[in-house]
Structure 1
């Protein structure tokens, strides 16, 4: 018997985690953090709906936190199998998991101080006190990294366990990202099952285009933007330049909340192009204020096997991530010094959803200033600070202070690393499937709308619930 069970990204965007049982073996596809508001993030501390010690292997699609962020917790609670992924994903996951663990330890220390001072309140990291300390520590993250197996190359078959063979296919989402094709054989039934992971759009400047969906009986498919198309990349780049030029002219700063992986590198590339081609002021000061993004950028340089051919050609003419006036700020003191700059700065800082990281400090110092701008270039989940700002909040709370939103807010969705609806459909193609499981999207805006589109094309679709087990026949 072959069983598929959805343990994350079920009728929601984050927390990707999928269980396959075949030939008495159990494997996971991803084990990510739930991200969003307080209630959503509290689910991270809950027990897994399966025994971590019973899992034989974990296959990781890519290094975003909502796909890898609970791996240290999985190991902490008993997982002793092997973790399979690409070389680039392994390197990026190390940076992401250590950063996540460090933030959780920091949040726990702050919560302990508030509790001693009598100011504690129930909740979770970045929304209140952590109820039982950090979800996992830096030591836990380092221990989890010991379980990563030899790196997997795109297209090569890997025998995971008896009855389960996998191939990693380029998903074009971020560096090293993959869709995963499983050949399943329980001794009686042989089936192919394809997990899309997060899919990218074609024509991005750094990574290759996603490979079309392989032939498979069942597809587990993301739907983050299943309801709409993105704005074109050239139009999005021009809007970014417009936001920067207008803010520079009125002597303000531009704050760009960015995800450390892919989005940061892509924005650096376009800023480089804009300054080089005279579309942006040559004396612009650009700050990459994210130790994780700085480390990720260094990792990008080590993995040309993931690059688009046009980007490889760019490398022959110099570093496409570099430009005059670019500053990398690793130290906290350097980050704090940026807040004394009142004009002419473009500040890229994490996190992209503004629920953590240094960007909150920059928002605190600039969000109330009419001269400044905040430019969102990525997805903002419900319940996050980014989403509240995007949705037009007049005031937001940052570090327990009420900050009025007076800066100009720009939302440019053409930079998204997620495929839009047309790209999702192009990836899927016209091949027949026994069933498509739609996951990883906002229930009403993404999943339901995408389900309707797929069913109109004749596909049998299902939106699995959290913990739901489905027999694959």
Structure 2
């Protein structure tokens, strides 16, 4: 009998982690993500595994976003030595993302310990290091979409294109117990059908049980083409006010989408007077990974590019300037208007975007553009929810900049996309909704019942089922 325990992204969006146990597989994790929101050091210190990491035989990793992969270094630090099975592009992105994430954590921890020392308190020990990242990368066992990979004594995993970010996967697990074949499908994060860079999510037909994400289970996104028009209008309005634009962007996926849309505007002659800055060393590194795979990306818009334009996103947007070190980042402050600043982190929980807010968020000429989901407790969510003041670096700032959201740039499927994806399974599988806030999950649950007669379940954290 197989057991499945929901350990993260259960009635919440971040911290994706589910434990699958079976004599056929051993003990396998579906993702090993960190929670996001609040103080990063405190959050990471407080994360605890509800299992013995040394007893985990493998991690089946859906994609490289930190809310799905960010606790892999801690898992390794605490004794995990099994395989991390993922796609080749995910393994390449993981190398960049985990080194950057752990580096930020260690720098934040150092500053936190300095404050503790001034108060006469004992320092806090790091829960992982860059050596642990190297250990995780060495455990990666990359494979291609559609390739069958053995797991345990009588199990197989197959990755299918989820269309979310480069390398993202729908994870199909087949296991045989007492001669009976069982199939579990974990959607990971499903992409949209009209993404400019990604393929549509693969449609699967058979599963006994499906774990489906529900991030946007209660709403639809604007069409992607509308986002480019909206972006153009926001830029023109900000230009007319003499302001600049700040775009908090996730280093993987969203940054590359934004660069592509800005490239389209540049090619149409609409971006001539703007200075565009990519102010994130990790996003720069990830964009270069995307460039290496750009020829294989299959969005309709990518196929329409000339051979020269498909060389790299930097070639497509020649006015792009890369701010690699802190001096480059600080130099942007001297530009008073006409700058488009793309910086991490996407939810404003850290990174250089907070420094740009300090310089510009109090000025009503400027605009902040959000391009994706903002988790509860993050600075991004506070701003989207309409706060009028915010504390940055122990100082309070009045928010006068315009706050905008590009609804069509999400990398997640909206409600109709989720309904279409699950409807392809015949017969209907047992369906459990994960990776969503309660309101989104309940709305999706109701639609599944009304439209498809499917009684989806919403497991809580720590709950487990047998199948």
State the TM-score bracket (shorter-chain normalisation): over 0.9
User: 1:187 Cα shift?
Assistant: 2.1
Q: 1:228 aligns with which of 215, 219, 229?
A: 219
In 1, the alpha carbon distance for the partners of 2:464 and 2:40 equals 24
Partner of 2:291: 301
Pair 397,309 (structure 1): closer, same or farther in 2 beyond 3 Å: closer
Q: Please provide the CA RMSD for this pair.
A: 1.9
User: 1:312 Cα shift?
Assistant: 4.3
Partner of 2:21: 21
Contact 1:202–1:423 under 8 Å retained in 2 = yes
> Could you list the per-position Cα deviations for residues 407-459 of structure 1 after superposition, in whole angstroms to 9, with x for gaps in the alignment?
01101121000110011111112433341010001112x11111111122211
User: Counterparts in 2 of 1:25-64, with a 5 A limit?
Assistant: 25-38=26-39, 42=43, 45-64=46-65
Partner of 1:341: 335
Partner of 1:123: none
Contact 2:5–2:18 under 8 Å retained in 1 = yes
Partner of 1:420: 414
Partner of 2:353: 359
In 2, the alpha carbon distance for the partners of 1:380 and 1:400 equals 22
Answer yes or no: is 1:270 the counterpart of 2:271.
Answer: no
Q: 1:137 aligns with which of 129, 142, 155?
A: 129
> Could you list the per-position Cα deviations for residues 283-324 of structure 1 after superposition, in whole angstroms to 9, with x for gaps in the alignment?
210000000110001101112474016414525132462324
Partner of 2:69: 68
Answer yes or no: is 1:321 the counterpart of 2:322.
Answer: no
Contact 2:41–2:108 under 8 Å retained in 1 = no
In 2, the alpha carbon distance for the partners of 1:163 and 1:44 equals 37
Contact 2:431–2:456 under 8 Å retained in 1 = yes
In 2, the alpha carbon distance for the partners of 1:219 and 1:62 equals 17
Pair 356,134 (structure 1): closer, same or farther in 2 beyond 3 Å: farther
Question: What SS class does the counterpart of residue 260 from structure 1 fall into?
Answer: coil
Q: 1:368 aligns with which of 358, 362, 370?
A: 362
Q: 1:439 aligns with which of 434, 438, 449?
A: 434
In 1, the alpha carbon distance for the partners of 2:299 and 2:258 equals 19
Question: What SS class does the counterpart of residue 172 from structure 2 fall into?
Answer: strand
State which drifts further: 353-362 or 160-169.
160-169
State which drifts further: 208-217 or 98-107.
208-217
Question: What SS class does the counterpart of residue 463 from structure 1 fall into?
Answer: coil
In 1, the alpha carbon distance for the partners of 2:123 and 2:457 equals 35
Pair 248,419 (structure 1): closer, same or farther in 2 beyond 3 Å: same
Unaligned runs of 5+ in 2: none
Q: 1:288 aligns with which of 278, 282, 291?
A: 278
Contact 1:245–1:281 under 8 Å retained in 2 = no
Contact 2:294–2:312 under 8 Å retained in 1 = no
Answer yes or no: is 1:171 the counterpart of 2:162.
Answer: yes
In 1, the alpha carbon distance for the partners of 2:263 and 2:125 equals 42
In 2, the alpha carbon distance for the partners of 1:38 and 1:300 equals 30
Question: What SS class does the counterpart of residue 342 from structure 1 fall into?
Answer: coil
Contact 1:34–1:41 under 8 Å retained in 2 = no
Count of aligned pairs: 460
> Could you list the per-position Cα deviations for residues 233-264 of structure 1 after superposition, in whole angstroms to 9, with x for gaps in the alignment?
12111111111111112111100000001111
Question: What SS class does the counterpart of residue 7 from structure 1 fall into?
Answer: strand
Contact 1:22–1:163 under 8 Å retained in 2 = no
Pair 358,183 (structure 1): closer, same or farther in 2 beyond 3 Å: same
In 2, the alpha carbon distance for the partners of 1:222 and 1:418 equals 9
In 1, the alpha carbon distance for the partners of 2:44 and 2:87 equals 28
The 4+ residue runs of structure 1 with deviation greater than 4 A are 38-41
Contact 1:219–1:433 under 8 Å retained in 2 = no
Partner of 1:182: 173
User: 1:331 Cα shift?
Assistant: 0.5
Unaligned runs of 5+ in 1: 121-129
Contact 1:269–1:320 under 8 Å retained in 2 = no
Contact 2:116–2:123 under 8 Å retained in 1 = no
In 1, the alpha carbon distance for the partners of 2:341 and 2:21 equals 46
Pair 305,284 (structure 1): closer, same or farther in 2 beyond 3 Å: closer
Pair 458,23 (structure 1): closer, same or farther in 2 beyond 3 Å: same
User: 1:213 Cα shift?
Assistant: 3.0
